[in-house]
């Protein structure tokens, strides 16, 4: 049976580490890291993510600067707010919760964020430096960074291992591939045009599942003993629940737990790590400014 990687517990350890560092930063410089969390509109899921992030900030002593803009805000108004936050010395990270209302161009808003405060790490300059040997980005994207942390903190060696990443999105698949390559894994990226993904995944010592397809990866697709990190969070109908649905990953958990060496659950695996890495990036951004 697979060792279940407890993302919630690892994330809590990291949050404690962050809280310690924030405390010591505050004692030495009398300043705390600040994260601006911007939400436009009233989407329920976005509101719940945002309140989770704000709560997480509070818990580790990071000041969260909350901007709740109305649904009908214009693109120019949102950009003006981003510019204000760029200028604000108490803000070390800026997070704009996606998706934005349809009349606002997301790429345009994101590209207005000062690269030194781009704690999501999605700026193309950051991605380029992430990709290149001998270069380092200011911030690594949170979910990919969280995947690597789960591996290393579980004692799983990456160097020289076969890693297969399923999915190639800009926010997970692509950057996690680049991080694994930098960590000296032999990386293959599998996607919607790949023939026979199954047999490719079966060769992997490390699988990162980020395809967004519920239970796509079956138990017999997994090499016995492999480490499987499941980034998927797919809502499937579940009439036995009050909500009418439950969340499942891209991996068939029941089957995979009998084959894999390590496996992350959904929820409770990668999800808590994303928030922890956001806090970590904010702290790192603040340290660069405060503790020069």
Residues of this chain that interact with its own copies (CB under 8 A) are 123-135, 159-160, 162, 168-170, 174, 178, 181, 184-191, 193-195, 200
Two tokens at 21?
Answer: 């560092």
Rounded to the nearest 10 degrees, the angle between the axes of helix 270-290 and helix 44-60 is 50
- Of 88 and 114, the one with the shorter C-beta distance to its own copies is 114
97 is a catalytic site residue: yes
Question: Could you please report the per-residue DSSP string of the chain?
Answer: -PEEP-HHHHHHHHHHHHHHHHHHHHHHHS---EEEEEEES--HHHHHHHHHHHHHHHHHTPEEEEEEE-TT--HHHHHHHHHHHHH-TT--EEEEPSSPPTTS-HHHHHHHS-GGG-TT--SHHHHHHHHSTT---SS--HHHHHHHHHHHHTT---TT-EEEEE---TTTHHHHHHHHHHTT-EEEEE-TT-S-HHHHHTT-SEEEE-S--TT-B-GGGS-TT-EEEE---EEEE-TTSSSSEEEE-SB-HHHHTTT-SEE--SSSSHHHHHHHHHHHHHHHHHHHHH--
- Of 21 and 205, the one with the shorter C-beta distance to its own copies is 205
120 is a catalytic site residue: yes
- Which residue is catalytic, options 81, 117, 118, 120? 120
Distance of closest approach, residue 99 Cβ to its own copies, in angstroms:
15
- Of 193 and 241, the one with the shorter C-beta distance to its own copies is 193
- Of 164 and 222, the one with the shorter C-beta distance to its own copies is 164
Distance of closest approach, residue 191 Cβ to its own copies, in angstroms:
7
Inter-CA distances, 25 with 16, 29, 33, 244, Å: 14, 6, 9, 45
Distance of closest approach, residue 123 Cβ to its own copies, in angstroms:
7
Q: How far is CA 86 from the centre of its chain?
A: 22
53 is a catalytic site residue: yes
Two tokens at 184?
Answer: 């000296």
- Of 200 and 247, the one with the shorter C-beta distance to its own copies is 200
Distance of closest approach, residue 109 Cβ to its own copies, in angstroms:
15
- Of 102 and 193, the one with the shorter C-beta distance to its own copies is 193
Distance of closest approach, residue 71 Cβ to its own copies, in angstroms:
25
Distance of closest approach, residue 139 Cβ to its own copies, in angstroms:
13
Q: Which residues are catalytic?
A: 53, 97, 120
């Amino acid at each position: 049976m697979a060792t279940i990687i407890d993302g919630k517990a690892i994330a809590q350890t990291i949050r404690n580490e962050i809280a310690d560092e924030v405390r010591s930063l505050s004692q030495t410089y009398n300043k705390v890291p600040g994260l601006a969390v911007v939400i436009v509109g009233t989407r329920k899921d976005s509101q719940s993510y945002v309140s989770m992030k704000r709560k997480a900030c509070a818990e580790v002593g990071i000041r969260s600067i909350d901007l709740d803009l109305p649904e009908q805000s214009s693109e120019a108004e949102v950009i003006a707010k981003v510019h204000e936050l760029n200028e604000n010395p108490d803000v070390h990270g800026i997070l704009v919760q996606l998706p934005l209302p349809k009349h606002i161009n997301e790429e345009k808003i994101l590209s207005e964020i000062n690269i030194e405060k781009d704690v999501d790490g999605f700026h193309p300059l950051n991605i380029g430096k992430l990709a290149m040997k001998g270069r380092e980005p200011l911030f690594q994207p949170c979910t990919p960074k969280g995947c690597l942390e789960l591996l290393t903190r579980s004692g799983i060696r990456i160097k020289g291992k076969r890693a297969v990443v399923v999915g190639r999105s800009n926010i997970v698949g692509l950057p996690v591939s680049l991080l694994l390559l930098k960590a000296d894994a032999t990386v293959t990226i599998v996607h919607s045009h790949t023939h026979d993904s199954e047999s490719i995944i079966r060769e992997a010592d490390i699988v990162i599942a980020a395809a967004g397809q519920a239970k796509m990866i079956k138990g017999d697709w997994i090499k016995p003993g492999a480490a499987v990190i499941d980034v998927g969070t797919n809502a499937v109908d579940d009439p036995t629940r009050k909500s009418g649905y439950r969340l499942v990953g891209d991996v068939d958990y029941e089957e995979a737990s009998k084959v894999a060496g390590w496996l992350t659950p959904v929820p409770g695996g990668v999800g808590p790590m994303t928030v922890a890495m956001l806090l970590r990036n904010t702290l790192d951004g603040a340290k660069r400014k405060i503790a020069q």
